[in-house]
Amino acid sequence: MTLGSEKSETFIGKRAARQDELSDTDDPKERASRCLYYWQVEDHCFSKLPPHPQLPPYYGKREDWMIFGLIGDGTNPAPTLLDLMAKDCNQLQDLKHVGNALGCSSYAETLDKALVSLLTVLNHVHDHKIVHRDIKPGNLLVHAGDFLLMDFGSAADLEPIPRSLIPRRIGLEDGSRVAVSPIYCAPEIYIDVRYHPTAFDIFSSGLLFCQLLFGYLEERMDAGFHQQLEETDWDLNIWLSNELGSKLRPLGLDNALEYLGERPGLWSLLQLMLSKDPAKRPSAKESIKNLDGILKGRGLEDGPFFNMVLESMETCPIPTLSRPLHYVATFSRQQPLGLILSEIDEEDNIFWREATKNGELGEVFVKELVPDGQADKLGIFEIGDQLQGIGEFPFSNDGFEKAVEMLGDQPRNARNIKLHFDRISVRSNEAIQMLPSEDREIQIEDVGVWSSKGKRNSQEDAFVLHEIHDTKDRSVLVAGVMDGHGGLAASTMVSSELPSLLSTELVINRRSVPDALEEAWEGVCNMYKEQCSDPDLCVAEYDPRLGTLMANTGSEDLVAGTTASVMALDEKTGKLTVLNCGDSRTMIVTSEGKVQFRTKDHTPQTEGKRLSKGIEAGLDYSLPKCKMSRWCLTVGDYEYSVGRSLEGPFATGKGIVSDADVTTIPTNCGETLMSASDGLWEVMDSDEVAIVIQKMRTQGMSAKDTARAICSMALKKGTSDNVSTVIIFI
């Protein structure tokens, strides 16, 4: 509110909301009392703080008003950082509007200035024993090339009021009364005056800077980042490791890593600022000193894990044509691996010499297993299996010592470690003879489903389990999984609508099972795309009051999608029709524990030819690129690690199509059919899963218990995704 002019200066007045102005709230009296309390705290803090170029000028109280000088062009107030972030949202990750307001000409210069400015004003506030407790974009004005900090209603004076009989600190009379934003809140939530109280603001500042850095410029994405960081127990290295393995990630990660790579030591500083323990966070003064050294090229080391990330930004770990079989083994870091690795040597062991006869210097192979060790119990290793990757990063064949170094460089808080291997093995790739496909009855012995949200705060997977009967005495069991991303809208629609559409095609339209399944999938895809013409119906669920996003990541413009892998078993003929779109996976396991059939994952790399043809035809597709150790497609402001899935119109127009592979295979008694979402396959190989499933079935476990055990194994092996599994014993 503008009160008037004095000496050609415009003033801004601020007062507490009154009870009669809060009639639309549940308890107007209590709300009015809170508003008055926050107003009094703010007046106290501004009265105590000396003038500073990064604080609005404060002229004291006039009756019920606090009077501030206008920050702006003399008529209009300066924008907040929140206003500028809204303008930069969905741009090319260049922070153009924020940079212009800060007087900067580049993305990197803008980030440098933002962190320096933020820490400088905090240093002034903290020097006078005040903690703000509500650092967020909406409380930062951007003017004259600096941030100005305002709104001290949630602040606290760490010094007791002088000459009071009972020591009383303004803002700390009732700790539970403080209003803080859940999106920018430090893990401790309430400060302790005896234990590094100003560290609360350091955490919020680190969080805010990271959101500028990674391009999380709207509230939903800010909430998602805070949520993801909390799930990793506030460890930036583990968060980054999870992001590198995510199916869908914001494009801003690319620019951020390039920027950080040019400022050694900044990643380490951010890790300290975001420490869970307030005592480990540097003060504003210490942070400014560290940042000054970083910007002058005298920063500390960022650690081997982050350096490995930078080295791997343009390197995909596994060449798809190098060897016929690739698998991943996950080990607990609490026990020895039980795996003896070696470079090639002349040892007089015929099996070893034969397995490594084509090996080259620097390559590392499995030479031996420790009896009853972790590797031995997994039951998937053979002598001569070649090491291809450690954790999220490729092994570049630099010898045994490099492998040991990489093993030691994994994030220190990670409980598990994944090793990638390639194998040349005739035994593992023998063709399995299929029985003739004459009509025969198949008896379903047992069916089970299990689904776990894992480390995620939300469950985006869904599944189908349905039996359809028609008048020709035909019975079709339909089962499968949908691996959603960006929200629940797509996966839940497929799981709810696909069975009824399939039933119509089988019973009313009298189609064959393969034709009916294709028609049903096309029908549900069209339904979803039509629904998503209104994006509000397809975005992730978000609670602004709690600052939680019911998806792994997402913004207002990101439409939810899903992969799908669905089985339709004709119980009379024994023929199984499999529809697969994306990187969920269906397979048939023989009674000997071998993979009889498995679907092909639609990764960006496998879709390269289709996308190239689309570009030649003039379509707005992007080609797969290898970034940060995996293949991805650029779609708007996001990178997708799938080449096909059910998406909204925008992603479909960019080349992420819902075209599915449909295959019909005869089945045999004693086989196990399974579908599982990508959360399983990121930590377990198909051959490993097949062995485990058959072992459990042989031991008499039910299909449901087997599905549950498979999901549990994936969680123990460190999957960061939801996991859903459908098991059918025939």
Residue 229 falls within a domain, yes or no?
yes
Question: Is residue 422 located within the same domain as residue 493?
Answer: no
Which residue type sits at 322?
S
Which of 36 and 377 is assigned the larger pLDDT? 36
Question: Is residue 213 located within the same domain as residue 110?
Answer: yes
Kindly state the average pLDDT of the residues 547-571: 85
Kindly state the average pLDDT of the residues 547-572: 86
Q: What is the pLDDT of residues 633-670, one digit of tens each?
A: 988 888 898 999 999 888 888 899 999 999 999 999 99
Question: Is residue 226 located within the same domain as residue 262?
Answer: yes
Burial 563-594 (b: 16+ CB within 10 A, else e): bbbbbbbbbebbbbbbbbbbbbbbbbbbeebb
Which residue type sits at 207?
L
Which structure tokens are listed for 173? 């009379």
Residue 554 falls within a domain, yes or no?
yes
Q: What is the pLDDT, as a whole number, of residue 677?
A: 95
Residue 557: strand, helix, or coil: coil
| Secondary-structure percent of the chain, ordered helix, strand, coil, rounded to 5 | 35, 20, 45
Q: Which range of residues forms the domain containing residue 502?
A: 446-599+659-729
Task: Look at strands 548-549 and 130-131 and give their pairing.
Answer: unpaired
Strand order in the sheet with 561-570: 461-469, 475-485, 561-570, 575-581, 661-666
Query: Distance (Å, rounded) from C-alpha 364 to C-alpha 362?
Result: 6
Contact call for residues 414 and 240 (beta carbons, < 8 A): no
- Which H or E run contains 223? helix 219-231
Question: Is residue 509 located within the same domain as residue 416?
Answer: no
Q: What is the pLDDT of residues 337-380, one digit of tens each?
A: 999 999 988 776 777 877 788 788 899 999 999 998 998 887 77
Residue 32 falls within a domain, yes or no?
no
- Name the H helices within 49-80: none
Residue 47 falls within a domain, yes or no?
no
Question: Is residue 572 located within the same domain as residue 464?
Answer: yes
Q: What is the pLDDT, as a whole number, of residue 177?
A: 64
How far out from the chain centre does Cα 2 lie? 45
Question: Is residue 355 located within the same domain as residue 400?
Answer: yes
Least confidently predicted of 168-182, 218-232, 360-374, 515-529? 168-182
Residue 27 falls within a domain, yes or no?
no
Question: Is residue 593 located within the same domain as residue 669?
Answer: yes
Question: Is residue 154 located within the same domain as residue 258?
Answer: yes
Distances (CA, A) of 586 to 276, 568, 659, 661: 41, 11, 16, 12
Q: Tokens 């500042």 correspond to what residue?
A: 205
Question: Is residue 393 located within the same domain as residue 250?
Answer: no
Q: What is the pLDDT of residues 451-510, one digit of tens each?
A: 887 766 677 899 999 989 876 678 899 999 999 988 889 999 999 999 999 999 998 998
Residue 616 falls within a domain, yes or no?
no
Residue 40: strand, helix, or coil: helix
Residue 248 falls within a domain, yes or no?
yes
Beta bridge partners of 714: none
CB atoms within 10 A of CB 412: 12
| Listed residue (403, 390, 398) closest to 340, CA to CA | 403
Residue 107 pLDDT more than 80? yes
| Listed residue (532, 492, 476, 463) closest to 711, CA to CA | 463
Query: What phi and psi, each to the nearest 5 degrees, are found at residue 336?
Result: -60, 150
Residue 438 falls within a domain, yes or no?
no
What CATH number does residue 152 fall under? Answer: 1.10.510.10
Q: Which of 400, 429, 458 is the last residue of a domain?
A: 429
Contact call for residues 388 and 422 (beta carbons, < 8 A): yes
Question: Is residue 408 located within the same domain as residue 517?
Answer: no
Question: Is residue 278 located within the same domain as residue 367?
Answer: no
Question: Is residue 572 located within the same domain as residue 694?
Answer: yes
Domain count, the chain: 3
Residue 280 pLDDT more than 70? yes
What CATH number does residue 553 fall under? Answer: 3.60.40.10
